Structure 1
């Protein structure tokens, strides 16, 4: 498949651009350090759920939000599945950034790098538009600009873009009635790691771990000194 590369659009303020770039660079430095510490968690949930059949992933945008009654039933179903498989959720804020916060927690051991994760996903959507535009039933430029904004809900297209960008297999334990397990694999490459999320369908994402990983996750962290 041919890659489509698009040129960067100009910014109205060079000062704001410089400040934003500095924030992203700082996030990248911290994320690199944290990624090394949390890499040994990879595969733990996968081993526990290795017998679950998965369904093929089809990227799609969010099309509906369930009503309160359906959402409550879905949430109870998800909780039951978490208990059945001995898993726990690291809960992230429901501020519209939950997908990116959950991915950040899986990648870097903290949900606080969600802005960097969204920035990288938005870059992937822009540079490789031919991969994703066929799944978006609106003007693609409008869609990717919307997804670059903080607070915009991520969807199954951004999950595919994240899998491609970070060379990761993203696995969802879901609240869907017909299946509880979805895999999103990166295009044209072998995944270098697994990221596990819980998905309260069309409502919220959290980061997913085995119960036995509690001690590892909450052990005293090293201090990382950054010099600017």
Structure 2
């Protein structure tokens, strides 16, 4: 991806830009290696939740946020569901990038590649606007430019774009009272992988695993890991 230097940048800015591009290329190379390394992990979470019926997914932007009391009840409901199915959350930072961090953890077994994940999703939004424009009740260019900014909350439109970009079925274990489980599938191809997230409704995303199927770097140290 090209980077644009503004305000009459001189030679020193060019060097800085080159170094930044090298760092980004290194990150992408490491991420690709990690992705290949974990591509053959078994679908432990899918097996654990195979008896759940999923609800249809409708892409939408963020327009509603629960009150504190409703959010607290939702969080307790999500914890109960995680415990009931023997699942563990890898908690990611709640800095506005949580959806992209959680997707990064599922793709690369690290949340640290969230900037690359966001860039890939925004590129998908820009190049295939006919898939998503109808779900966005604002000027579409304004929408995808906003989504390109670090800290901007991801929504159900970006989840659909992620499913399409990464050829993945994205599975959400949610805190919604009437909707425990949502599947988001690619629109024009069969999914090649599954990505599993917990969704504290309209508040936060985390990455989820069955404990036995977790990579070693994610295994909790506490004896009693469910909470």
TM-score range for the pair, normalised by the shorter chain length? 0.7 to 0.9
SS in 2 for 1:207: strand
Name the residue aligned to 1:131: 131
Per mean C-alpha deviation after superposition, the further-off stretch among 165-174 and 17-26 is: 17-26
Query: Which segments of structure 1 move beyond 6 Å, counting only runs of 4 or more?
Result: none
Q: Tell me, yes or no, if the aligned pair for 2:90 and 2:218 is still in contact at 8 Å.
A: no
Q: Tell me, yes or no, if the aligned pair for 1:174 and 1:181 is still in contact at 8 Å.
A: yes
Q: Tell me, yes or no, if the aligned pair for 1:42 and 1:193 is still in contact at 8 Å.
A: no
Name the residue aligned to 2:216: 217
Alpha-carbon spacing, 1:64–1:23, altered in 2? closer, same or farther (3 Å): farther
1:87-117 superposed Cα distances (whole Å, 9 cap, x missing partner): 0000000000000000000000000000000
How many residues get paired?
Answer: 212
Alpha-carbon spacing, 1:119–1:180, altered in 2? closer, same or farther (3 Å): same
What is the CA–CA distance in structure 1 between the aligned matches of 2:145 and 2:5, rounded to whole Å? 14
Question: What are the equivalent positions in structure 2 for 1:123-202 lying under 5 Å apart?
Answer: 123-202=123-202
Q: Tell me, yes or no, if the aligned pair for 2:172 and 2:181 is still in contact at 8 Å.
A: yes
Name the residue aligned to 1:94: 94
SS in 2 for 1:218: helix
**Gap runs ≥5 in structure 2:** 220-227
Alpha-carbon spacing, 1:23–1:121, altered in 2? closer, same or farther (3 Å): farther
Question: What are the equivalent positions in structure 2 for 1:1-228 lying under 5 Å apart?
Answer: 12=6, 15=14, 18-214=18-214, 216-218=215-217
Alpha-carbon spacing, 1:127–1:21, altered in 2? closer, same or farther (3 Å): farther
Give the structure-1-normalised TM-score: 0.87
SS in 1 for 2:24: helix
1:211 CA drift (Å): 1.6
